[in-house]
Amino acid sequence: MEYSKKSFNRTLTLVPVTLFGIAYMTPVVVFTTFGVLSEATQGLIVSGYLVTIIAMLFTAYSYSQMIKAFPTAGSAYTYTRKSIGPHLGFMIGWTLLLDYMFLPMAICVLTAYTLSAAIPALPFWAAVLIFIVPPTIINILGIKLAARLNFWLMMFQFLVIAIFIILSIKSLLEGTGSIISLSPLFSSHFSIPVILSGAAIAAYSFLGFDAISTLSEETIEPKKTIPRATLLSVIVCGGIFLVVSYLAQLVHPSFKFEDVNSGGYEVVRMVGGNLFVSIFIAGLVVSSFASAIAAQASAGRLMFVMGRDSVLPQKIFGYLHPKYKTPVFNLIILGAISLLALKLDVATSTSFINFGGFTAFIFVNISVIVHYFFKGNRRSSRDILLFLILPGIGAIFDTWLWTNLDKHALILGGIWTACGFIYLLGLTRMFKKRPPELNFEDLERDVS
């Protein structure tokens, strides 16, 4: 079989695809960021999340529109390439690789530190390997196995969140506070700059919903399923973030903590004591494991599409295992990259992610405008709203987030982009020819 015609088996439906997106975003991240967000918003954490959810929905909408136009696994790389141009598409795919390739590593770093602290007898290197080796094997064995396991991992995560909600309500009803209050939404501390500063931090919790688009070639009826799953994942995670942060802020009305980085743990201990802290740590580990599976699966598929296009070396990156129909070499490469977790700290590892993620968000919004409004000549009053104003708002907000990235993210992202540009010069012989491109006819016939 020719590489250009290789594709995945279609087995996924709405529920497993949506759960993959939710797993990627990791709902329990609301606890790990609670202290920082509460301090940044001066206790108005719900307002910060509301602004972010609304803004992310604009970008999720843009992804849903581009998936309908190009229901393949390349995500922002494919959308930019087909809508704007192959050279810019390559650069967006290259920056997106920065996000997708290094997110599994960042998950390893974040969770391994937590796990080794909770279990002192467990060496850090062993904790790292727990989040590299099993997810790699699971993803190699196929998306159906990964989807089944992910379902149960997510159910446990939802259970932990549900227990927290019940314990928080119980604590409030027993007299520690009121269950109905506007204080997490509006108070004397309210100001637009304060809310926006919190929204910028909260936005990082939503990185990952776009990964659903990389499952397009393994999803039944992707033109219907993927857009729905994309919007559902943002809505479900957004709802969880709102409810949990609202109750947590009521249980702990102050935005001052013993350690702002572990503010969520303080609240967990307040409502449930040591027993629930143990359950919560188990939930955190489980959620990180699920996120590692989802992140690696998505990254492997993006690398496969770029390999299938011959943008990356085809014999390695464009290879699918004949039995499992998975990009085996890509998954092994991602596992090897994740071993960098043994040498990197949290700040450095997360800096790799944000640059690529928000760059992709910006250009997916722009792709909607170019593809539908300009090239598609969709100019009715309704079309102006759907294909110009809505994605325009998404692009503006994502650009604002991008400009507010920390200097480490911008420096690392700039270096990575420069390397990609040099590679593109060689690939196109100084722009004398177009980058290699996949023939979409076979793929589009599969989903029509």
Compute the average pLDDT of residues 323-352.
81
3-447 placed in CATH 1.10.10.10 = no
pLDDT at 225: 92
> What letter represents residue 175's amino acid?
G
Token pair of 322 as six digits: 């004949």
pLDDT at 4: 45
> What letter represents residue 441's amino acid?
E
pLDDT at 117: 67
pLDDT at 345: 66
Residue 330 pLDDT more than 90?
yes
Domain ranges of the chain: 3-447
Residue 131 pLDDT more than 80?
yes
41: confidence class by pLDDT, cuts 50, 70, 90: confident
Angle of helix 75-83 versus helix 346-368 axis, rounded to 10: 40
- Give the separation between CA 24 and CA 409, rounded to whole angstroms: 20
Compute the average pLDDT of residues 84-104.
85
pTM of the model: 0.80
Residue 415 pLDDT more than 80?
yes
* Secondary structure class of 386 (helix, strand, coil): helix
Residue 3 pLDDT more than 70?
no
Q: Worst-scoring range by mean pLDDT, 227-236, 403-412, 438-447? A: 438-447
pLDDT at 2: 42
Residue 295, CA atoms < 13 Å, CB-side half-sphere: 32
118: confidence class by pLDDT, cuts 50, 70, 90: low
72 or 93: which leads in pLDDT: 93
370: confidence class by pLDDT, cuts 50, 70, 90: very high
Q: What is the pLDDT of residues 268-312, one digit of tens each?
A: 888 888 888 888 888 888 888 888 888 888 888 878 888 887 878
User: Can you give the three-state secondary structure of 36-93, one letter per residue?
Assistant: HHHHHCCCCHHHHHHHHHHHHHHHHHHHHHHHHHCCCCCHHHHHHHHHCCHHHHHHHH
Output the CA angle 422-423-429, nearest 5 degrees.
90
pLDDT at 448: 40
328: confidence class by pLDDT, cuts 50, 70, 90: very high
Residue 430 CA, chain-centre distance (Å), reads: 34
Q: What is the pLDDT of residues 208-218, one digit of tens each?
A: 788 788 788 88
Averaged confidence pLDDT in the chain: 84
pLDDT at 437: 61
Output the CA angle 378-63-9, nearest 5 degrees.
115
Residue 316 pLDDT more than 50?
yes
Q: Name the nearest CA neighbour of 403 among 351, 355, 346.
A: 355
Output the CA angle 369-373-375, nearest 5 degrees.
100
Q: Worst-scoring range by mean pLDDT, 271-280, 386-395, 413-422? A: 271-280
Compute the average pLDDT of residues 173-197.
78
- Give the separation between CA 400 and CA 53, rounded to whole angstroms: 15
Q: What is the pLDDT of residues 145-175, one digit of tens each?
A: 888 888 898 999 999 999 999 999 998 888 7
Residue 70 pLDDT more than 70?
yes
Residue 59 pLDDT more than 70?
yes
